[in-house]
């Protein structure tokens, strides 16, 4: 093995977004592009010689090729040990668990999460720090700064490493261990939830349908649901990870999981349905002909947390991203525990969990998790729901409606406008900002604008400040409209419109969310000039 230094030139577009650097595969395959970014990470994190690194991804196209490059670069940069998921596969929550369990210096997670895969699809890479959390902004900014000045990278000349057999091998002075992250993760889940009660539920005729979307959770789902909980083989669908996710879009929502939705809304519907995304950190929850919004899912799980063995002592606190509905805040208030509102991005929850301020966290973008790891965790959320169902012995819909009756219902929806021209999307946000003063106090039907702002967050633990995290129009009755440019896309711009209105009247809880929010939707379009500025009559996805 011969380490060598390769001269290179910076690429100007390597700024990490909400969850690392995401680009088209064709972009990552440009000469030196991947190597530049990886070297920028290694230069910025300053790992001591001999450090241990975790490595793996969601199995999408380019995953295995990138792993080989990273292993050779890690050896040349002085790492002493790398733990690699078997086959190069490692779900994002499992990666966080591996980092924490084996006390590695950190880890590289190769994924573009819920984005499409394949040769013409997306790829991504991010660094997670030693607590298992995505790198905070001070580190990602340092990586970006380094990427703009990089002139060389270090890599070893060596044969590729076998990734499909468990065990240890060497690359120069660096040891590589191919590990089984599925067993590690399944053991963790079994320590948190009442597997005996869930097993009895499934044995009693309760029918489960889980859609792995040909993504990373397939092997995890088979081990947990079929092998450990005794679910039937047909309970897990699309369970084989594929480089292109079977041609599908691995985003667990009502639009991109049509087969699962059809099954749960059909005449002979299973009792419970769920799906996870490309890298296993997101989830969608369905009952028979009933969709649970991610905001409601967080609130319901928090309200029922003590039913799961891992949470019998209760929650220290609850945190949610700003665009997520305030439903969880109402639960926190009833439980007498603190609630926190953070920017979008799981990295903002890490400090709160490390400080013991919160136990459970959630984002409206189908992410829910707790302090067992430092990432959102799709299968964790599914198992938590199964634990609640086993304990309460009620259907999903009944549990949610009883929750609304007790706490009130936060009608909530997100409208995504994907692949917009960047100038048009930025124009919408600029127009809103320019009209903040004019909107204050304005009357729109039954709604009066209390104020407008760009959400900023001061971390209560380390004092760091994050600005421009979403443009908000707040109304006097607590309703709100939020516009935000997504940081997870790779093509054009994705503009997200969030709408929320609280309803205490139980007689109105059965309304469809789009009907209940119709007036707010019309107001949002009127004040933003979204249709006129983007040319879009309808959103790409509604959740």
Cα dihedral 195, 197, 198, 202 in deg (nearest 10): 130
Same domain, 401 and 441: no
Mean pLDDT of 360-387: 96
* pLDDT given for residue 487 in this prediction: 59
Mean pLDDT of 99-113: 96
* pLDDT given for residue 490 in this prediction: 59
**Inter-residue contact 291 to 254 (CB < 8 Å):** yes
Same domain, 203 and 336: yes
Domain final residue pick, 370, 392, 407: 407
Domain final residue pick, 407, 435, 460: 407
**Residue 429 structural domain:** 409-542
Gap between the terminal Cα atoms of the chain: 52
* pLDDT given for residue 423 in this prediction: 93
The pTM of the full predicted model, rounded to 2 decimals, is 0.93
Q: Which residues are catalytic?
A: 113
21-45: pLDDT as tens digits: 999 999 999 999 999 999 999 999 9
Mean pLDDT of 284-298: 96
215-267: pLDDT as tens digits: 999 999 999 999 999 999 999 999 999 999 999 999 999 989 999 999 999 99
pLDDT value at 489 more than 60 = no
Same domain, 400 and 476: no
| C-alpha pair distances (Å), 474 with each of 104, 212, 425, 500 | 43, 38, 21, 10
Same domain, 174 and 141: yes
* Nearest alpha-carbon partner for 350 in 506, 533, 137: 137
Same domain, 259 and 333: yes
* pLDDT given for residue 135 in this prediction: 94
pLDDT value at 491 more than 90 = no
Same domain, 34 and 152: yes
* pLDDT given for residue 541 in this prediction: 86
* pLDDT given for residue 492 in this prediction: 82
Same domain, 454 and 319: no
Question: In sequence order, what are the residues at sequence separation of 6 or more whose Cβ sits closer than 8 angstroms to the Cβ of residue 196?
Answer: none
Domain final residue pick, 112, 147, 179: 179
* pLDDT given for residue 488 in this prediction: 56
Same domain, 387 and 438: no
What is the secondary structure of 90-145 as a DSSP string?
--HHHHHHHHHHTT-SEEEEE--TTS--STTSEEEEEEE-TTSSBPPHHHHHHHHH
Helix (H, G, I), strand (E, B) or coil at 404: helix
* pLDDT given for residue 18 in this prediction: 75
Same domain, 257 and 373: yes
- Mean pLDDT of the chain, nearest integer: 95
Cα separation, 239 vs 217, whole angstroms: 7
Mean pLDDT of 65-71: 98
């Amino acid at each position: 093995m011969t380490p060598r230094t390769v001269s290179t030139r910076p690429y100007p577009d390597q700024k990490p977004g909400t969850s690392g650097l995401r680009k088209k595969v064709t972009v990552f395959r440009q000469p030196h592009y991947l190597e530049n970014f990886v070297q920028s990470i290694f230069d910025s994190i300053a790992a001591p010689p001999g450090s241990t690194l975790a490595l793996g991804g969601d199995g999408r196209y380019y995953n295995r090729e990138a792993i080989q490059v990273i292993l050779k670069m890690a050896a040349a940069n002085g790492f002493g040990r790398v733990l690699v998921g078997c086959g190069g596969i490692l779900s994002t929550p499992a990666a966080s668990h591996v980092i924490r369990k084996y006390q590695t210096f950190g880890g590289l997670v190769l994924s573009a999460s819920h984005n499409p895969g394949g040769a013409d699809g997306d790829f991504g890479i991010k660094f997670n720090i030693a607590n298992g959390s995505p790198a905070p902004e001070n580190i990602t900014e340092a990586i970006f700064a380094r990427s703009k000045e990089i002139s060389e990278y270090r890599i070893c000349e060596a044969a590729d490493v076998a990734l499909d057999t468990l065990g240890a091998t060497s690359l120069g002075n660096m040891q590589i261990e191919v590990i089984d992250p599925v067993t590690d993760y399944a053991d963790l889940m079994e320590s948190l939830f009442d597997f005996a009660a869930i097993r009895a539920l499934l044995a009693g005729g309760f029918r489960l349908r889980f859609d792995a979307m040909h993504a990373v959770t397939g092997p995890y789902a088979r081990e947990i649901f079929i092998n450990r909980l005794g679910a039937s083989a047909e309970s897990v669908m699309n369970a084989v990870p594929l480089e292109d996710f079977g041609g599908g879009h691995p985003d667990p929502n009502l639009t991109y999981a049509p087969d699962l939705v059809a099954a749960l809304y059909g005449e002979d519907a299973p009792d419970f349905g769920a799906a996870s995304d490309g890298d296993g950190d997101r989830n969608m929850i369905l009952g028979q002909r009933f969709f649970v919004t991610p905001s409601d899912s967080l609130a319901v799980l928090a309200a029922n947390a003590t039913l799961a063995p891992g949470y019998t002592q209760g929650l220290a606190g609850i945190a949610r991203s700003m665009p997520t509905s305030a439903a969880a805040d109402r639960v926190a208030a009833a439980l007498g525990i603190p609630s926190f509102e953070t920017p979008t991005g799981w990295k903002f929850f890490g400090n709160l969990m490390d400080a013991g301020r919160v136990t459970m966290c959630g984002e409206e973008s189908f992410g829910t998790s707790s302090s067992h790891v430092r990432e959102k965790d799709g299968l964790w959320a599914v198992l938590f729901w199964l634990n609640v169902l086993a304990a309460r012995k009620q259907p999903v819909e009944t549990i949610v409606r009883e929750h609304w009756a007790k706490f009130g219902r936060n009608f909530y929806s997100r409208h995504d406008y994907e692949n917009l021209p960047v100038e048009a999307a930025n124009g919408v946000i600029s127009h809103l900002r320019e009209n903040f003063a004019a909107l204050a106090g304005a009357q729109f039907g039954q709604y009066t604008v209390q104020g407008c702002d760009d959400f900023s967050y001061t971390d209560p633990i380390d004092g760091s400040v994050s600005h421009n995290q979403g443009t908000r129009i707040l109304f006097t009755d607590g309703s709100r409209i939020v516009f935000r440019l997504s940081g997870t896309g790779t093509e054009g711009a994705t503009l997200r419109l969030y709408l929320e209105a609280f309803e205490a009247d139980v007689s109105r809880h059965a309304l469809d969310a789009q009907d209940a929010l119709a007036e707010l939707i019309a107001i949002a379009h009127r004040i933003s000039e979204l249709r006129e500025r983007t040319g879009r009559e309808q959103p790409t996805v509604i959740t």
